[in-house]
Amino acid sequence: MAAAGVEQILIVSPRYADDVASAVAVSGFTPIIERRGQSAISRFTDSQLKVVVVDARGALEPGLTTAAALGPEVEARRGGLLVLLSRSDAGAAAAAQDAGATSVLVSPFGGEAFGNAVRLTVRNTRRLADVESQRTDFDEDRDRLTGLASGDQLQDHVAGALADAAKPSVFVLAIGIGRIAAINAAYGRGVADQALSAVAARLSALVQADPASALWLARLAAAEFAIGLSGELRMTTIMQLADTVIACFADPFVIGDHVLHLSARIGIASNVLQNNVLDAEVLVRQASAALSEARTGDAGSIVMFRPDPMGDPLTRRANLVADLHKAIDDGDIMLIYQPQLTLGNGRLTGVEALARWDHRLQGVLPAETLLQTAEAADLAIKLGRHIRAQAMAEAARWNGSLADIKLSVNVTAADLADPGFTEALAAAIANSGLSCDRLMLEVTEGALIGDIDAAARVLEGLRALGVRIALDDFGTGYSSLFWLARLPVDAIKIDRSFMLGLMGTAREKMVIRAVINLAKDLGLNVICEGVEDDEQLAAARAVGCDVIQGYQIAAPMRSTRLQQFCSDWASV
Residues paired with residue 54 on neighbouring β-strands, in sequence order: 12, 83
Is pLDDT of 567 > 80?
A: yes
Lowest mean pLDDT among 212-226, 322-336, 441-455, 536-550: 441-455
Q: Is 220 helix (H, G, I), strand (E, B) or coil?
A: strand
Asked whether residue 288 falls in the same domain as residue 157, the answer is: yes
Q: Rounded to the nearest 5°, which phi and psi values hold at 101?
A: -65, 135
What is the number of domains present in the chain? 3
Contacts from 320-323 at CB under 8 Å and sequence distance 24+? 320/359, 320/369, 320/373, 320/376, 321/373, 321/376, 321/377, 323/359, 323/360
Domain boundary among 101, 134, 167: 134
Could you say which of 307, 324, 349 is where a domain stops?
307
Instruction: Judge contact between 321 and 376, C-beta under 8 A.
Output: yes
- Cα gap 572→567, rounded to integer Å: 9
Which amino acid, one-letter code, is at 189? R
- Cα angle value 290/296/297 (rounded, 5°): 95
> Which alpha helices (H) appear in 135-234, and where do they start and end?
151-162, 180-187, 189-209
- What is the reported pTM? 0.51
301 and 155 together in one domain:
yes
**pLDDT digit string, tens, across residues 48-57:** 788 999 999 9
The answer to whether residue 132 scores a pLDDT higher than 70 is no
Is residue 344 assigned to a domain?
yes
Q: Are residues 333 and 296 in the same domain?
A: no
Q: Is the pLDDT of residue 43 over 90?
A: no
Tell me, yes or no, whether 462 and 347 share the same domain: yes
**Strands 169-178 and 263-270: what pairing?**
antiparallel
Q: Are residues 468 and 447 in the same domain?
A: yes
> Smallest Cα–Cα separation from 89: which of 46, 124, 50, 58?
58
Flag whether 52 is in a domain: yes
Same domain assignment for residues 563 and 442: yes
> Structural domain of residue 359, as residue ranges?
315-571
Q: Which long-range contacts (CB under 8 A, 24 or more apart) does 251-254 make?
A: 253/195, 253/198, 253/199, 253/202
Residue 260 sits in the same domain as residue 356: no
Give pLDDT tens digits for 194-208. 899 999 988 988 877
Q: Does 17 share its domain with 116?
A: yes
CA atoms within 13 A on the CB side of 313: 13
Predicted confidence at residue 6, as pLDDT, reads: 53
Share of the chain above pLDDT 70, in %: 86
Claim to verify: residue 427 and residue 552 sit in the same structural domain: yes
Question: Between the ranges 158-162, 404-408, 495-499, 559-563, where is the mean pLDDT highest?
Answer: 404-408
Task: Report the C-alpha gap between 360 and 329 in whole angstroms.
Answer: 13
Does 139 fall in a domain?
no
pLDDT tens digits for 350-384? 999 999 887 766 667 777 778 878 877 888 899 99
Do 325 and 283 share a domain, yes or no?
A: no
- The CATH number of the domain holding residue 414 is 3.20.20.450
